[in-house]
Amino acid sequence: MADTLAALESAGDVDAARLTSDPLVGAAVERLLSRIVDLAVDVNSHVAAVALRRSPGDYRESFDLAAEAGALTTDLAETLKPSVGLRNAIVHEYVHTIVGSAVPLALKSYAEDQRQIAGFVLDRSG
């Protein structure tokens, strides 16, 4: 996750105009955002399976279960759940405006996701 967030940050300022005018940057940013959501959902699902002995029914629920397990705060889970819709928009090739506005949120919120999950794992293993 850290490498993917760093790669996304290296894209610099990203907005709808840049994503439209530079298709290579657009494709890279879309793929990185999709990968970040997929990685987070995978980790959330693993946390839920180990800590709660439950599996999420969908991507959004994985954030709820990670919060229920104590791996994420409820506030962060609520902040991140809409990114599932972003991932779906990317996969189905929706508009660049949505993607461009998602980059700053992804960089901030998924860095916090990574920090909280790491703390949870360290607390449980210590």
By C-alpha distance, which of 125, 126, 73, 76 is closest to 105?
76
Q: Which residues, including other chains, have CB under 8 Å from residue 31's CB and lie 6 or more apart?
A: 90
CATH number of the CATH domain containing 96: 1.20.120
Average pLDDT, the chain: 87
Residue 75 in any domain: the answer is: yes
Residue 60 in any domain: the answer is: yes
Residue 87 in any domain: the answer is: yes
pLDDT of the residue at 43: 96
Residue 126 in any domain: the answer is: no
Look up the domain containing 16 and give its range: 2-119
Q: What total number of domains does the chain contain?
A: 1
Residue 124 in any domain: the answer is: no
Calpha distance 74→55 (Å, rounded)? 18
Residue 18 in any domain: the answer is: yes
Write out pLDDT tens, residues 63-117.
999 999 999 999 999 999 988 877 666 655 555 566 666 777 778 888 899 899 9
